[in-house]
């Protein structure tokens, strides 16, 4: 079992693939260079299930206050995200106060972004039936039920062994991992 799948660690699960007409391999290469050049990268995303200020930031801050890391665990999927490659120029922690994005960071075609470091290929499996939503109105809902259908990301925590339900679905493979860093999640424009 991966050291990431320890109950005290926070897991932000996300399905990833082609984004803004760019292959996942090209995105990984670009983000790795951004981390080397700027010390961190911004991993863009959309949707409301991991809203920066109401979901990701409280989840990450809670884990950070406990001295625990927060890992972005990514499951590769077939994707057809063909939005324009418009580079975000500014970022904001609260959606009110804005600052320029570091000139070495290019985040494209996204409404929000996660601040990440230590992006790497790492392969392991996660059983979503053994996770639950960690924050927000769906807190406590089992991960596999929450991630059915259109949901493709979630702030998760592992369920204690004695509370786990039998797994009906096969585990999902995780192929890409990063550690979140401050400010954890931002708004983009």
87-130 per-position pLDDT tens digit:
999 999 999 999 999 999 999 889 999 999 999 999 999 999 98
Q: How far apart are CA 91 and CA 155, in angstroms?
A: 21
**Structural domains in the chain (count):** 1
Is the model's pLDDT at 42 over the cut of 80? yes
Q: What integer pLDDT is reported at residue 81 of this predicted model?
A: 57
**What is the residue whose two structure tokens read 């989840």?**
59
Q: How far apart are CA 55 and CA 27, in angstroms?
A: 25
pTM: 0.91
**8 A C-beta contact, residue 89 and residue 101:** yes
SS3 of 171, please?
coil
Angle of CA points 53, 14, 113, to nearest 5°: 40
Q: Where in the sequence is the domain holding 34, given as residue range(s)?
A: 3-188
């Amino acid at each position: 079992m991966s050291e990431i799948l320890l109950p005290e660690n926070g897991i932000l699960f996300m399905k990833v693939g082609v984004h803004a007409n760019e292959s996942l391999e090209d995105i990984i290469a670009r983000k790795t260079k951004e981390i080397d050049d700027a010390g961190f990268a911004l991993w863009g995303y959309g949707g409301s299930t991991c809203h920066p200020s109401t979901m990701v930031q409280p989840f990450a801050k809670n884990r950070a206050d406990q001295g625990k890391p927060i890992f972005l665990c990514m499951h590769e999927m077939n994707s057809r995200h063909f939005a324009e490659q418009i580079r975000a120029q500014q970022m904001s922690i609260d959606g009110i106060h804005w600052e320029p994005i570091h000139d070495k960071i290019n985040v494209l075609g996204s409404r929000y972004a996660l601040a990440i470091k230590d992006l790497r290929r790492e392969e392991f499996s996660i059983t979503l039936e053994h996770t639950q939503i960690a924050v927000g109105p769906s807190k406590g809902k089992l991960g596999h039920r929450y991630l059915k259908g259109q949901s493709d990301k979630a702030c998760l925590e592992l369920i204690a062994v004695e509370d786990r339900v039998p797994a009906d679905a096969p585990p999902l493979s995780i192929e890409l991992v990063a550690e979140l860093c401050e400010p954890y999640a931002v708004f983009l424009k």
